[in-house]
């Protein structure tokens, strides 16, 4: 294997399965190759198996079947304390009986580094997370954001090539979370470690990651770059989970492999990109993002137009959300920038909504419970 391949497959999950009770699988056939230095996020609702994957890589959980490799070698027979993987926990996991400096020195002392080197590295690590003056304090005397910065520094201080983060910002409030996202990103770019990040917060995943693996029900639904996930979701779960989406029920009329033609309940015909469109004649879902759906005006009308009844508008601040109802009962939302052009519509007024064909996605109907309002 050439160096190029090894770097592209630095961390490999190969058909990994995990069951806690020998009956149901929490992780079903998970495969993922992670490039050296890449920032990969495992994103999914709680209970989707993403944290379990992280714990298996760290060595805290056994692998039921399949293989996990780091740098071309299987790690299943390596104890967690020999894997040399940094880890950041949701609740920091700082040792409360040690000062910040002692916490940072811990992994170095375990490795029996000389005292002078430990001291220097601790000093550098404190500087790295801008907590120079806090070395002598105890974790209990720090705020949540400071604690998480210490935890981050502690996971990096022994220079692991892989750093795992298990919802590290989950316990912080919104402003602090955004600041820490930036901080983590900065450290990742500065130090070049391979980061595997677990979160259920899609905004966090979108802003930080090189690639995102969307988990649901123990299966990776899609693994792609943030823009690809957002713009061309592989199926209706991803379309719904990442960002907001309007769902319109319809039936496939024709499909040329690129563009599908869909008939809606009232007989309107619209066109959309074929993503995973069911065969002709089957029911399907048409997904259009609220920012790609427009209120048709004289100067602005795309190739697809439907009519709907205006219900109400929700003032958000930088944007305004307009809610519409189609004749089959489905609700649609249009997001409009709050500038001078934001229209005022009378409630109940019939309105024409429009979107460009390449902004509409023809998708399968989600299995099981249908999140789309019944027609």
Partner 1 sequence: MAQFPRYFTIWQKLGLTGVKLTAWLVLLFLMAPILVIIPLSFNAEPYFTFTEGMLAFDPDAYSLKWYQEILAEDKWMLAIKNSFYIGIMATIIATVLGTTAAIGLTRSEMPFQRMIMALLLSPMIVPLIITAAGMFFFYTQLDIAGSYLGVILAHAALGTPFVVITVNAALSGFDYSLVRASLGMGAKPVYTFFKVIMPLIRPGVISGALFAFVTSFDEVIVVLFLAGPEQRTIPRQMFSGLREEINPTILAVATLLVIISGLLLLTMEYLRARSEKMRTG
Site for partner 1 in 297-356 (CB under 8 A): none
Q: Are 346 and 309 in contact (CB under 8 A)?
A: no
The helix (run of H) or strand (run of E) holding residue 211 is: strand 211-216
DSSP 8-state symbol, 304: E
Place of tokens 């989950």: 170
For the CB of residue 164, give the shortest distance to partner 1 in the complex, in Å: 8
Site for partner 1 in 15-74 (CB under 8 A): 58-60
Q: Toward partner 1, which CB reaches closer, 65 or 141?
A: 141
For the CB of residue 166, give the shortest distance to partner 1 in the complex, in Å: 9
As given in the structure block, the two tokens for residue 282 are 């089957």
Q: Toward partner 1, which CB reaches closer, 138 or 230?
A: 138
For the CB of residue 254, give the shortest distance to partner 1 in the complex, in Å: 55
For the CB of residue 277, give the shortest distance to partner 1 in the complex, in Å: 45
Stretch touching partner 1 by CB under 8 A, among 133-141, 293-301, 340-348, 366-374: 133-141
Q: Toward partner 1, which CB reaches closer, 172 or 270?
A: 172
Q: Toward partner 1, which CB reaches closer, 102 or 178?
A: 102
Q: Toward partner 1, which CB reaches closer, 73 or 112?
A: 112
For the CB of residue 17, give the shortest distance to partner 1 in the complex, in Å: 20
For the CB of residue 124, give the shortest distance to partner 1 in the complex, in Å: 17
CA distance between the termini of the chain: 55
Q: In what order do the strands lie in the sheet with 350-355?
A: 294-295, 350-355, 304-315, 319-325, 331-337
d(CA 287, CA 356) in angstroms, rounded, equals: 12
Sign of CA dihedral 93, 98, 104, 105: negative
Q: Give the phi and the psi of residue 190 in degrees, each rounded to 5.
A: -70, -40
Q: Toward partner 1, which CB reaches closer, 84 or 203?
A: 84
DSSP notation for 39-97: EEEEE-STTSSHHHHHHHHHTSS--SEEEEEETTEE-TTS-GGGS-EEEE-TT----TT
- Give the count of residues interacting with partner 1 (CB under 8 A): 28
Q: Toward partner 1, which CB reaches closer, 96 or 343?
A: 96
Q: Are 68 and 60 in contact (CB under 8 A)?
A: no
Contacts of 150 (CB under 8 A, 6+ apart): 92, 94, 100, 103, 104, 129, 131, 134, 139, 142
Q: Toward partner 1, which CB reaches closer, 82 or 266?
A: 82
Q: Are 53 and 16 in contact (CB under 8 A)?
A: yes
Q: Toward partner 1, which CB reaches closer, 155 or 202?
A: 155
Site string for partner 1, 76-115 (x = CB under 8 A): ---xxxxxxxxx-x-x-xxxxx--------xx--xx----
Under rule CB under 8 A, residue 266 binds partner 1:
no
Site for partner 1 in 139-178 (CB under 8 A): 140-141, 154, 158
For the CB of residue 178, give the shortest distance to partner 1 in the complex, in Å: 24
For the CB of residue 140, give the shortest distance to partner 1 in the complex, in Å: 5
The three-state secondary structure class of 104 is helix
The three-state secondary structure class of 342 is coil
Binding site for partner 1 (CB under 8 A): 58-60, 79-87, 89, 91, 93-97, 106-107, 110-111, 138, 140-141, 154, 158
């Amino acid at each position: 294997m050439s160096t190029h391949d090894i770097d592209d497959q630095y961390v490999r999950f190969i058909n990994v399965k995990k069951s806690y009770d020998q009956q149901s699988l929490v992780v079903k056939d998970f495969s993922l190759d992670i490039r050296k230095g890449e920032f990969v996020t495992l994103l999914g609702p709680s209970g989707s198996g993403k944290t379990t994957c992280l714990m298996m890589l760290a060595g805290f959980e056994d692998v039921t079947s399949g293989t996990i490799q780091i740098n071309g070698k299987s790690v299943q027979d390596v104890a967690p304390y020999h894997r040399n993987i940094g880890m950041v926990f949701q609740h920091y996991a700082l040792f409360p009986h040690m000062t910040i400096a002692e916490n940072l020195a811990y992994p170095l002392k375990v490795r029996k580094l000389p005292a002078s080197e430990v001291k220097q590295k601790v000093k550098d690590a404190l500087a790295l997370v801008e907590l120079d003056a806090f070395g002598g304090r105890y974790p209990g005397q720090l705020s949540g954001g400071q604690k998480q910065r210490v935890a981050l520094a502690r996971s990096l201080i022994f220079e692991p090539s892989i750093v795992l983060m298990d919802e590290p910002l989950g316990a912080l409030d919104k402003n602090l979370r955004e600041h820490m996202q930036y901080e983590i990103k900065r450290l990742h770019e500065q130090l070049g470690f391979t980061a595997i990040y677990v979160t259920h917060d899609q905004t966090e995943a979108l802003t930080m990651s090189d690639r995102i693996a969307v988990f649901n029900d123990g299966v990776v639904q899609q693994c792609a770059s943030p823009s690809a996930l957002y713009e061309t979701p592989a199926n209706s779960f991803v379309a719904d989970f990442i960002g907001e989406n309007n769902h319109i029920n319809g039936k496939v009329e024709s499909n040329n492999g690129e563009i599908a033609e869909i008939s809606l309940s009232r007989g309107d015909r619209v066109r959309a990109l074929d993503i995973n469109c069911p065969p002709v004649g089957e029911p399907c879902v048409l997904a259009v993002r609220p920012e790609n759906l427009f209120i048709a005006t004289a100067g602005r009308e795309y190739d697809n137009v439907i009519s709907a009844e205006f219900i109400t508008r929700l003032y958000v601040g930088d944007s305004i959300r307009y809610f519409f109802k189609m004749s089959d009962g489905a609700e649609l939302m249009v997001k409009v920038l709050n500038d001078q052009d934001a229209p005022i519509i009378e409630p109940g007024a019939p309105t024409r909504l429009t979107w460009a064909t390449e902004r509409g996605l023809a998708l399968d109907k989600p299995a099981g419970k249908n999140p789309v309002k019944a027609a």
